[in-house]
Chain A
Amino acid sequence: MTTTTTTSPTPGPTPGPTTDAKTSKALQRSGDWARRAPLLPALILVIVATQLPFVVTIVTSFTRWNAYYPDKRGFAGLSNFGTVLSDPDARHAIWVTVLLTVSVVLISLVLGLVIALLLDRKFLGQGIVRTMMITPFLIVPVAAALLWKHAIYNPEYGLLNGILKGVFGNGAPQVDWIGTHPLMSVILAIVWQWTPFMMLILLAGLQSRPMDVVEAARMDGANTWQIFTNMTLPHLRQYIELAGLLGTIYVVQNFDHVFTITSGGLGTANLPYYIYQTFYTAHDYGLASAAGVIVVILTLIVATVALRTVFSLFKEESR
Chain B
Amino acid sequence: MTIPTTPEASGTIAGTNPAQEHAAEVEQQVVNHRRQSPGSRLLGVLAWVVGLIFIAPVLWMILTSFHKEADAATNPPSPFAPLSLDGYKSFFSAGPWPPILNSVTASVVSTILVLALAFPAAYALSIRPVRKWTDVLFFFLSTKFLPIVAGLLPIYLFAQKVHMLDNIWLLAVFYTVMNLPIAVWMLRSFLAEVPLEMLEAAQVDGAGLLTTMRKIIAPVVMPGIASAALICFIFSWNELLFARVLTGTRAETAPVFLTGFVTSQGLFLAKVCAASLVVSLPVLIAGFAAQDKLVQGLSMGAVK
Contacts and interface: CB of A to CB of B under 8 A. Distances in A.
A77 interface: no
Contacts of A235: 3-4
A317 B1 contact: yes
Interface string B259-284: 10110000011001101110110011
Nearest to B134: A314
Contacts of B144: 249
Nearest to B287: A138
A52 interface: yes
Given A142-B255, A307-B145, A197 B5 contact: no
A98 interface: no
Nearest to A230: B6
B154 A307 contact: no
Interface residues of B, number: 127
A21 interface: no
B13 A147 contact: no
A123 B44 contact: yes
Contacts of B277: 143
B75 A132 contact: no
Contact of B272 (A125, A150, A204, A253): A150
B302 interface: yes
A115 to B, nearest CB: 6
Interface string B100-131: 00000000000000000110110111011111
Interface residues of A, number: 134
A230 B75 contact: no
A228 interface: no
B238 interface: yes
Contacts of A60: 153-154
Given A5-B208, A135-B284, A310 B77 contact: no
Nearest to A51: B143
Nearest to B47: A118
Contact of A139 (B25, B48, B58): B58
B40 interface: yes
B172 to A, nearest CB: 13
B82 interface: no
B298 interface: yes
A314 B199 contact: no
Interface of A: 1-2, 4-5, 12-17, 32, 35-39, 41-43, 45-46, 49-54, 56-57, 60, 114-115, 118-119, 121-126, 128-144, 146-148, 150-152, 154, 156-157, 159, 161-163, 165-166, 192, 195-197, 200-201, 203-205, 208-210, 212-213, 215-220, 222, 230-231, 234-235, 239, 242, 246, 249, 252-253, 255-256, 259-260, 271-272, 275-276, 279-280, 285, 288-289, 292-293, 295-296, 299-300, 302-303, 306-307, 310-311, 313-314, 316-319
Interface of B: 1-6, 8-10, 12-13, 15-16, 21, 24-25, 28-29, 33, 40-41, 43-44, 46-48, 50-52, 54-55, 57-58, 60-61, 64, 72-77, 117-118, 120-121, 123-125, 127-134, 136, 138-158, 174, 176-177, 180-181, 184, 192, 196, 199-200, 203, 208-210, 234, 237-238, 240-241, 245, 254-255, 258-259, 261-262, 268-269, 272-273, 275-277, 279-280, 283-284, 287-288, 291, 294-295, 298-300, 302-304
11 contacts: A36-B130, A49-B174, A129-B48, A132-B54, A139-B284, A151-B60, A151-B269, A212-B25, A216-B16, A230-B8, A230-B9
